[in-house]
Amino acid sequence: MRRLCRRILVIATFVTIADYVIQAISLDLHQALGAFVFLIAVNCLILARAEAFASKHTVGRSLLDGLGMGAGFTVALCCLGAVREVLGSGSLFGIPLFHEGFQGWAVMLLPSGGFFSLAAWLVLFSAVRQRRAARFASAVAAVER
């Protein structure tokens, strides 16, 4: 785990340095590339995680892990995007969900809306996890009596 964290830190550092160098050399190129430089870093992180898993497991387990990780990322991105679209434009897949007077939250259509959406999902999952743990603790206490 520490090795993976160090790898992530090194990749993130070099990508940030490369982004700043590109910005210093050519602002037009930096604007044209936009977020693609950071997407390369994310791709490296995903591949590094897959490689770390595959190096310690069989081909079958690695294949299942890759399929599971891909499905998990797809579901996570769809959930984040759905919250942003519903709160930002009041529709889902182009189908209006609210009355015509609904005014969407413009911030949800901006990149920062992704962070707000992620924070909301994390709060929701944390609350569910805490409720489940409290319910389990009370069940264990009831059994011990």
Over residues 73-98, the pLDDT tens digits come to 899 889 998 999 988 888 888 888 88
Per-residue pLDDT at 132: 94
Residue type, 42: V
Residue predicted with more confidence, 134 or 45: 134
58's CB contacts (< 8 A; 6+ apart) are none
The percent of residues above 70 in pLDDT, for the chain, comes to 97
Dmax of the chain from CA atoms? 71
Residue predicted with more confidence, 59 or 100: 59
DSSP structure class, residue 104: -
pLDDT band at 34 (very low <50, low <70, confident <90, very high): confident
Average pLDDT over residues 61-84: 90
Geometric angle at alpha carbon 53, from 50 and 56, rounded to 5°: 145
Specify whether the CB–CB gap between 67 and 81 falls below 8 A.
Answer: no
Per-residue pLDDT at 11: 77
